[in-house]
Each structure stands twice: as C-alpha cells, then as structure tokens.
Amino acid sequence: MAVPDHLTLWRGYVQHRPVEPAPLTPAQCKALRGPARAAHEDARLDWINADVALTTSDLTAISDRIRLLTVQNRVPSATARPGLAISGAATLGKSTIALNVGRNYERKERRRLGDGSDDIAPVVYVVVPPATTGKALMQRFATLLGQTYPPRATTQQVRDLVVATLRSMRTSLVIVDEVHEVRTNRAHGAEAASTMKLFAEQIDATFLYAGIDLPSSDLFFGAYGASLRGRMDVYEMSPFLAHRADHVEEWREFMQASESHYGLHKHSVGDLDVHATDLMRVTGGSLGVLRRILNRAATAAVLDGTERITKASLNRAGADLDGPATVPRHLPELAARTGS
Amino acid sequence: MNPVSPLPIRVRLAHGESLDSYAAALARANHQSVHDIEAALHAQRVLTSRARSSPQRKALWRALGALHARAFTTPTHLHGVTVRERTLCPHCARRDAYGLRPDVGAVCLTHRVWFGTTQPVPDMALSIAAERAFRRHVAPFAHTGSPIWRLAQECALTTTDPDMLTAPGQGTDIQRVYPETVAYARLILSPPFLRVLSNADLPRRDMVSIIGDRVTPLSSGTDSWRAQTRLVDLSRDLQSPGGVEKWGLTAACEAAKALSSQPSSARRADLRRAAGPTAVAS
C-alpha cells in the first residue's frame, strides 16, 4: 500500500483490515490440494507481511497523549491548541506510530459521530516534501484533500481554501510527517514554518508532527520555532538499549508478539528469546529494522516449508548474528556509546 | 482513466439536475467557484473545451462529484420538443436546484407541494390524482413544455368556471386548473381521440359533435365551446402536412395507429412500449 497522503488513499488505509488466515494444523495444511493450498499459503504470506502494528510502549504512550489532547482540544478555544511532536532517529517507527494513531483515532471518531460517509475527514495525513515553501505546503494539503485551486492563487488563498475545507469536513487531527524537512534557516523554510503556524491557529484540530530529531531541527528555532515549541509536547523516541532491563524485556515481548503473529507450524513463541540481545545489537535497537528481518525470515520459512525461524534463517534475512556489532549510522548516540 | 479526483466535500445530485446547477452547488460546498475550478482544470490541460455543453466538461464534473456515468444525460429534447429547465423540488434536492424533469407534472408526490416550490398543494386529493394521471398517461408523449400541454392549459383556463378562479385560496390560475389541464391533455393524447382528430375522412360535423361530447364533461363553466374550437383547430392542423410534428405528437399518433387493431387488454402495455423510454436518467 502506498503512503496514504491523499484523502482517498487515507480512507482506504483506514478501512483496510488485514485478514488473518484460518489457523490450520500442519496435517490440515498438508491435506489441502491444488489451488486451495496455494490460496492458503498466499493468505499466510499476506498476513505475515501485513501492515499490523504490534503494541509497544511508544505506541501506547503516544496514543494516550493524543487521546488526551484531542479531548482537550475538542472544546472551542480562542487560543492556540497544544499538539504533539514525535521525534527520534530514522527507522524507529515514528511514521508507523503516527499512521496507526491516526487510523485508530479516525475509526473511533467516526463511531462517535456516527458518520461513516465521505462527508467527513476526522484525520488528514500529509508528508512534507523536501525543501518545501509555505505555498508548496499548502498546495500539498489542497492536493491531498482533492481540492483544485486557481493557477495563480496566493499562499493565503490556498490556505483559506484548505482551512475552510478542513472545517467543513470536521477534521480534528492533522498529522504532519517528515516535518524536519521544513528548514527555517532558509527564506522559504521560514515562510513554510510561519504558514504552518498560522494554519494551525485557524483550525480547531490537534496537530501531530513526526520528524527526525525535532528538538535540534530548524523547525524549533527562531521566532516561529519558539512559538511552535511552546505549544508542542515533544515525545522523544529512542532506540532500545541492551543495558536497560526494561528495554530488553519489551524487546523480547515484541519478538514474542511477532512470533505469535506469524503462526509458523514448527515455531513456538519464545524460540527466538536466546537471540534477543544479539538482534538488539545488530539492529541498533530499532524495532523497524527488527520487524523487517523477522518478516523476511518468517516469509522464507513459509516459502521453503521449514516453518521455523532459526539463527541461520535470521542470518539469511540479513541479521548477521555472528558478525560484529553494527550500529546503523542513523543512530549517532548509540554509536558514540558503543564506540563503533 | 479520468485524471481528476473527486472534490473532498460531496454534494448529492438531484434527480434530473442540470450540470450548471450541480457544478455551482458542488463548488460552493467546496468553498470555491465554478470559474476557479474550471480555470485550474484549464491550467492543468485537463479541460480543453470552453463550450458549456461539451461532453468533456460533463465528464469532468462527474469525476469531481464522484457521480455515476448517467449523470447529466437527461434528454434535452423529447418527441421533437425542447425540455425546459425548471426549478426542482427543494425538499427532494435539499437545496435550490434546477434541471430537466419531463416525467413530472406540477406536483411533487413525495412532499405534496407544487413542484419547484415549498408551497403546499391546496386541493390535495384532486391535484395528486391529476399528477398520477399525468405521469401515467401524459408523460409518455408530452411534458410541461410541449405545445399540447399549453393547449390543454388554454382549454382548462377558458372552460373553468371564473368564480372558481377568483375564489380565495392558494396558487396561481394555472395551478388551480391543474386537474382540468391534465384531463384535457389526457383526452387529446388518448389513442381513440387522436384517431378521431387525425381522421381526414370523418365529416366535419361528426368531428365537431364527437369533440363536443368529450369536452363538455371536462368544463365546469359554460364556455366549453372555447375548448371545442381549439380542438377543432388542432384536428385541422393534424390533418395538414407537418402538423403532427409541429405539435410534437408523432409518437402519440403512431402509437394510436398501432393500437387501433389490438384488443384493449394489450393496449396499455403496447402504448408504453411505443412511447419509448421517458424515465429521466439522473
């Protein structure tokens, strides 16, 4: 599924619910013949690689905060509304969490409002394009909503159009991903930041930003940056660390949840516990990287019929458990700590 | 594939609504104007035609409103007569809308109001019965813009008791004589009567006598001769070359001829078949 940065795609993303295949015993699986067997295998592979977010402490904490903020912000207010910024290194799962929070919020909001129609859009999700200007940012919002705007429309005209549309569609959560792309130390970046600030002031919605290392990014510097920083709670996502017992415990729980999700016939939940710290080491404590390796290994286990994830299959999936500790370049803090 | 994605705020298309009416409503709901939206589409080279009735423009607005392919396909001509745009029932459309509804007379049966207004129909039972008769017997061959409908209105207005027209009550004269108008239109379009009117071999005296017999029960005043005269003139027209086309009665006359030799039980079904599709598409 493509990044749901258009209203139609977003609605498809919200409505999409991966279907878990019927849990069959190995004997029942073997008894299947021809197309039935192929269909069952395809369903299992789809389920293994499905866009299912497993619960983590970050996901729970961010969901709780968003729930709190959206309830607070539901009351009409003349002043700027508080928002949340998810910050952290790449591949830690910021976008995954933002998307999941948005999806769950939209489902709840539609239930609350009793409106499943296309007339409302409780959540909009936008990805900031690189080196964006204020006008480009507003045009991005207009495009994602499916709005057309006159060719010579000014930034203000497009912003007014977007604001009016979002108000009509009762939008109450705006997710802005890759927000670090707004660089306020350049003229067009500053314009984008100021546009974003004015935009946020005009809509009765909670803003959720996600981006790389936001506290030290350009977005939170300068006059507008300070104003923005003042109204945003920053949630810092950090990689899992091997010397923190609570991190190791949660890491292991995540692995077990993944093992349970895959439903491999010859694999029991907890079989991978012995490799937990090694996997944490080689992935740099990134759940995104871990999930990718485990998905690859589980897919291979179904395709080759072994139905089990082993150290060898993890290595084949790119883990390299016997190799030296490799800290991804995008995790500078960890690299400094481990001295690699 | 159409490159245009639907506008975010949808607007329901009213039955028979015209493109201009819908486009204005959709643009307004999306906080824009039709001009701005079309300017953007021209700039993107998605819309190349400037003609208001171009199929491309219709297709684009269908895409913008996420409408079905039958939207804006209501025929603009029926039986050789132009169908006029008129205000649609504001209750049905849930807003001000206009469009083509050749299948409807002067009453919205759902909301019991004069079509295109919020004004309730005063003489409820009679007007509703008349509307049902219009839809069943008149709409297959004529609509409210047809010359035959105007003739029926003239007949109804001239033969109705003047006291009834001046009596206090709601509605215009035309609305007050709606049941009588439908009755006249139904009489003119009935196959046996049409055969009489278009029969050149029938002696004039006999024709006047038959018309008089049929018209007298329909008139509440003493001036039934006015309607009689008009129908005699109509018969003269129908018997002259090009008269049938002029009155938009080609389909009705053909159906009358085709049914003349059939037993009455099969007539109604064949009458409908001969009339062709009159249902409004959108």
Helix (H) or strand (E) run with residue B231 in it: helix B224-239
Q: How far apart are CA B154 and CA B147, in angstroms?
A: 11
pLDDT of residue A113 exceeding 70, the answer is yes
pLDDT in tens, chain B (282 residues): 446 889 999 999 999 999 999 999 999 999 999 999 999 999 988 899 888 889 999 999 999 999 999 999 988 888 888 999 999 999 999 999 999 999 999 999 999 888 988 888 877 788 899 999 999 999 999 999 999 999 999 999 888 877 777 666 667 778 888 999 999 999 999 988 988 888 888 888 888 889 888 888 887 767 888 888 899 999 998 888 888 888 888 888 888 878 776 666 655 665 566 555 544 443
Work out the minimum CA distance from A153 to partner chain B, whole angstroms: 10
Of residues B38, B65, B63, B41, the one with CA closest to residue B52: B38
- Which residue of B12, B30, B64 is the best one to mutate when testing the A interface, meaning the one whose CB has the most A CBs within 10 A? B30
Instruction: Dump pLDDT digits (tens) for A255-278.
Output: 999 999 998 988 889 898 989 888
Of residues A234, A244, A240, A186, the one with CA closest to residue A213: A234
Which one of A118, A119, A165 has the shortest CB-CB distance to B31? A165
Distances (CA, A) of A172 to A53, A76, A208, B230: 23, 12, 11, 67
pTM recorded for the entire structure? 0.77
Q: How far apart are CA A19 and CA A270, in angstroms?
A: 24
* B83 DSSP assignment: P
Which B residues, 50 through 109, put their C-beta within 8 Å of a C-beta on chain A? Answer: 64, 66
**Residue count of chain B:** 282
Work out the pLDDT band at A337, boundaries 50, 70, 90: very low
Work out the minimum CA distance from A154 to partner chain B, whole angstroms: 13
Percentages helix, strand, coil for chain B (3-state, rounded to 5) are 50, 5, 45
The pLDDT score that the predictor gives to residue B129 is: 93
Q: How far apart are CA B56 and CA B4, in angstroms?
A: 12
Decide if B31 and A168 are in contact by the 8 Å CB cutoff: yes
Helix (H) or strand (E) run with residue A245 in it: helix A245-262
SS3 at position A87: strand
The residue assigned the tokens 């077990």 is A256
Decide if B9 and A119 are in contact by the 8 Å CB cutoff: yes
If you write DSSP's letter for every residue of A53-68 in order, what string do you get? PPP-HHHHHHHHHHHH
Which one of A146, A149, A164 has the shortest CB-CB distance to B5? A146
Work out the minimum CA distance from A262 to partner chain B, whole angstroms: 38
Name residues whose C-beta falls within 8 Å of residue A315's C-beta, 6 or more positions apart in sequence: A321, A322
Which one of B6, B40, B66 has the shortest CB-CB distance to A150? B40
Q: How far apart are CA A318 and CA A302, in angstroms?
A: 17
B243 touches chain A (CB under 8 A): no
Percent of chain A surpassing pLDDT 70: 92
B36 touches chain A (CB under 8 A): yes
Work out the pLDDT band at A327, boundaries 50, 70, 90: low
The pLDDT score that the predictor gives to residue B35 is: 93
Residues of B within 8 A of A145 (CB-CB) are 8
- Which residue of B7, B31, B38, B94 is the best one to mutate when testing the A interface, meaning the one whose CB has the most A CBs within 10 A? B31
Tokens at residue A338, please?
């481990």
Residues of A within 8 A of B43 (CB-CB) are 150-151
Which B residues, 102 through 141, put their C-beta within 8 Å of a C-beta on chain A? Answer: none
Which one of A147, A150, A160 has the shortest CB-CB distance to B8? A147
- Which residue of B26, B32, B35, B60 is the best one to mutate when testing the A interface, meaning the one whose CB has the most A CBs within 10 A? B32
Of residues A46, A61, A81, the one with CA closest to residue A262: A46
Decide if B36 and A6 are in contact by the 8 Å CB cutoff: no
Whether ipTM > 0.85 holds is no
Helix B147-159 × helix B178-189 angle, to 10°:
130
Instruction: Dump pLDDT digits (tens) for A120-170.
Output: 999 999 998 887 888 888 999 999 998 988 888 898 999 999 999 999 999
Instruction: Dump pLDDT digits (tens) for A54-102.
Output: 888 999 999 999 999 999 888 877 777 889 999 988 888 899 999 999 9
Task: Say if CB B65 and CB B7 are below 8 A apart.
Answer: yes
Q: What is the dihedral of CA A258, A263, A267, A268, to 10 degrees?
A: 70
Of residues B77, B103, B88, the one with CA closest to residue B13: B88
